[in-house]
Amino acid sequence: MAILDSKGRLFGKLSLLDLGAALAIFMVVFGIFFYPGATGSIAQSNVTKQAVEVDVIARGLTVLNPEQFLADLATTTETKIIVRNQPYGDPVQIKKVLALPRSVAVPQPDGSVKSYPDPRPELGYTADMLITLGSEAQVVDGSPILGVPVKIGTPVEIEGKSYNFKVSTVAIRLLDDAAAPTAAPAPEPIAEPATPAE
């Protein structure tokens, strides 16, 4: 019996096209399970995570009662985040919420400039805040992977039961067992307006 007949079948039974298709499928399955990429299960099981802190800033968030919202947010222990339309699976900790003042520069008669609280009434319905988030994350080239790499300037969306707003990343800290967490710096106090002399 001829090894290859006139119809291209091996030993008259197995088609070379069928054999090639079966071999291609076997190679694909072998590559998926034995040589996974960055998203493969074997790669994920060997990933080591590190404690990180991420400072984000929200400016001009419109809310009816800013003081109450900031107080409620400060008592919240965790929140969900979305980075570049990619939800991060695990909730992250809310470690600190710091209200940021709104001020205006007022020129003085002597030519100097002083900072005073912004008197515009519409600002009573807006909030500026600095939020410190904490999580355990994989770190690649100094950037934590919260679904996708997070760097300074990366926009982040924060979502909870009663809120959803966008913030911008301003600082990233990689923590370890030997180093104590570094708190976000407090803003400079607002200068009080001088009382005019009698």
127-176 residue pLDDT tens:
999 999 999 888 887 788 887 888 999 999 999 999 999 999 999 998 87
CB environment 86-119: b (16+ within 10 A), e (fewer): eebeeebebbbbbbeebeeeeeeeeeeeeeeeee
Q: Which of 101, 123, 70, 127 is nearest to 190 (CA)?
A: 101
Q: Which of 26-35, 162-171, 174-183 has the highest mean pLDDT?
A: 162-171
Distance CA 143, CA 110 (A): 48
Residues 6 or more apart in contact with residue 83 via CB below 8 angstroms: 146, 147, 148, 150, 154, 155, 156, 157
Does the domain made of 47-174 have the CATH classification 2.40.30?
yes
The predicted pLDDT at position 153 comes to: 93
Rounded to the nearest integer, the mean pLDDT of the chain is 79
The predicted pLDDT at position 3 comes to: 59
Give the end-to-end CA distance of the chain in Å, rounded to a whole number: 121
pLDDT at 30 over 80: no
